[in-house]
Chains A and B, each alone.
Chain A
Amino acid sequence: MVHPGKKAGWGHRSFMLVLMIYLLLPLIATSIYAFAREWQTTLLPEKWTLDWFRMMFEDVRFLDALWTSLYLCSISVALSLVVMLPTVFIISVYLPKWESFMKGIVVLPYAVPGVVAAVGLIRAYSSGPINIAGTAYILIGAYFIVVLPYMYQGIRNSLLTVSAVELLNSAEILGASRKKAFVSVVLPNIWPGVIVSTLLSFSVLFGEFVLTNMLVGGHLKTIQVYLYQRVGESGHLASAIAITYFVFILALSMVLMMLGKKMNRGTHG
């Protein structure tokens, strides 16, 4: 199905154009709205302004929400990293038989929608011995599960690409202890892959709304919850926030892609 030399026909080209317009139109409209002083009954706004962005950065609640999002996501991703690195390492080096079992656990978050997970979490932790409903703890726990598939896959793939088991054995033959071999041989080699999964997890959590709103919506306002609350008030301000958010995510995925490419080059070349 690959035609390297052939040029796509007009049909395919116009078709792709329609698809791109369809996919990009909401984004473009939101951007225009964020820069428009007023936009009604004309195809494009007549007056442009940066006021909405200025207002956004002067808004204390926005900055608070941004900070809340950043620290919640960072803590969760860091926790996931600290827990998952040794776990995936131990499983793939010592217990390869458990891998299919692990896969089952790890895909479960995909099959359980956020609403369902939130219902279970609320019931398990709103009364009884551990009452952490509405606190950051329950959310961080929930976030840990959300990024589980990304972290597991990412770390496992990088261990596989660097052939961690062989590396480890050679290090041992050369007289290094297991621990030393892990820290000074395996870890530096899998680092790029780990960074990619870290950033990916971060961007997934940054866009999370369901769990956040249902578990701690009344107490902790992340950027998504804040955006939801502003939608009704001023469309222009909310679109400035939405666009800023999107540009941030975009920058993050650009970094991701570049790192990914670099890594591939590193392993193949």
Chain B
Amino acid sequence: MKRRNRWVFLGLIPFAVMVVAFQLAPIISMLTGSVSKDKGAGFTFQFYSKILNSPFYLQAIKNSVLISVFSSVIGIVIGLVCAYSITRFSPKVRDRLLMLSNMTSNFAGVPLAFAYIILLGSNGVFTLLFQQWGWSVFADFNLYSWSGLVLVYVYFQVPLSILLVYPSFYGIREQWKEAASLLGASKWQFWRTIGIPVLMPAVYGTLGILFANSMGAYATAYALVGGNYNLLAIRIGSLVTGDVVNQPQLGNALAVILGLSTLLAVFLNHKMTKRSRMLQAVKEAS
């Protein structure tokens, strides 16, 4: 290993070229695009101030954040309960359940939106059936609105959430439960004081990933509501590729905002995984 061969480093050049050209250059270009003037050279924050003063774009941001928070929280609750439930089965069944859940995570984007249109769209099978059966509870439901979007977003969050929180249940040892119950703790007390705190880093970390996942989700929403629902990702898409009026610089600024929010969420995940590992290490030591 001591004998270093300089020619070997030439092998890294293609990689460096690709990363610089298709990852770093676009990010830098987007950042500079969002702060440079429409015409001529110069530095400006006009696009950001335009966004912050526009009720329309603020609403897009708000809608995106709300739908991401809602779908992530619902997703993590379902994911936690399901992951726990899965741990109660025999290993064979457990593997099957996890496999099925992972399999459905391939069903995302356009095909997923499409399946929901078949089921619950305005001419959807269930929509018509419920009408015929006179179930008026569902009469107000509209797939192409807020509640429909949340429903579809939760669908693609659940398998991801199960996948991410499932391993952390294995951090809780059966002996702890026994010890707690020997000391007179009830099942609920065990979960409140030991189980849930141990799971917490994994929960926060997963929330970060789920949040980033739904903030950046474009295909599903685009296929479902087109430009009709005001979401950040959809706004960016139409500003840049120009369905209506082409305003690339405003799109750049919005994209920077979206990118920052997902970066932050993924960073949170990173921090939390570290803490989770620390907990694990403490456990190994004890």
Contact = CB atoms under 8 A, between A and B. Distances in A.
Q: Do A and B actually bind? A: yes
Interface of A: 1-4, 6-9, 12, 15-16, 19-20, 22-27, 29-30, 33, 39-43, 82-84, 86-87, 89-91, 93-94, 105, 107-125, 141-142, 144-145, 148, 165, 169, 178, 203, 207, 209-210, 213-214, 217, 224, 227-228, 231, 235, 238-239, 242, 245-246, 249-250, 253, 257
Contacts of A26: 107, 112, 115-116, 119, 155
Contact of B26 (A87, A120, A203): A120
Q: Is the interface of A mostly helix, strand, loop or mixed?
A: helix
* 9 smallest beta-carbon distances between A and B, as pairs: A113-B216, A120-B26, A26-B115, A120-B30, A124-B29, A86-B11, A141-B22, A119-B255, A209-B219
Contacts of A148: 19, 23
B240 interface: yes
Contact of A2 (B19, B108, B170, B218): B170
Nearest to B132: A41
A141 B106 CA distance: 23
Nearest to B32: A123
A239 B115 CA distance: 8
B258 A24 contact: no
Contact of B106 (A43, A90, A178, A253): A253
Interface stretch (B52-60, B80-88, B274-282): B80-88
A108 B119 CA distance: 36
B25 A124 contact: yes
B125 interface: yes
A250 B102 CA distance: 11
B280 to A, nearest CB: 14
Contacts of B158: 19, 22-23
Contacts of A22: 155, 158
B8 to A, nearest CB: 6
Contact of B18 (A91, A141, A165): A141
A91 B252 CA distance: 34
24 contacts: A19-B158, A23-B101, A26-B115, A33-B125, A39-B125, A41-B129, A41-B132, A83-B14, A105-B19, A110-B266, A111-B212, A114-B218, A115-B216, A115-B258, A118-B237, A123-B26, A123-B33, A178-B5, A209-B219, A235-B117, A238-B114, A242-B111, A246-B111, A253-B106
B262 interface: yes
B119 to A, nearest CB: 5
Interface in B128-147: 128-129, 132
- Scoring A24, A33, A228, A249 by chain B CB atoms within 10 A of each residue's CB, the highest score goes to A228
Nearest to A120: B26
Contacts of B9: 90, 94
B115 A113 contact: no
B41 to A, nearest CB: 15
- Scoring A30, A249, A253 by chain B CB atoms within 10 A of each residue's CB, the highest score goes to A30
Nearest to B109: A209
B4 interface: yes
Contacts of A203: 106
B92 to A, nearest CB: 10
A165 B22 contact: no
B114 A113 contact: no
B241 interface: yes
A250 B104 CA distance: 10
B188 interface: no
B27 interface: yes
Interface in B75-98: 78, 81-82, 85-91, 93, 97
- Scoring B29, B111, B116, B216 by chain A CB atoms within 10 A of each residue's CB, the highest score goes to B111
A27 B251 contact: no
Interface in B218-235: 218-219, 222-223, 233
Given A111-B259, A116-B258, A239-B118, 4 more contacts: A27-B107, A40-B123, A83-B15, A111-B262
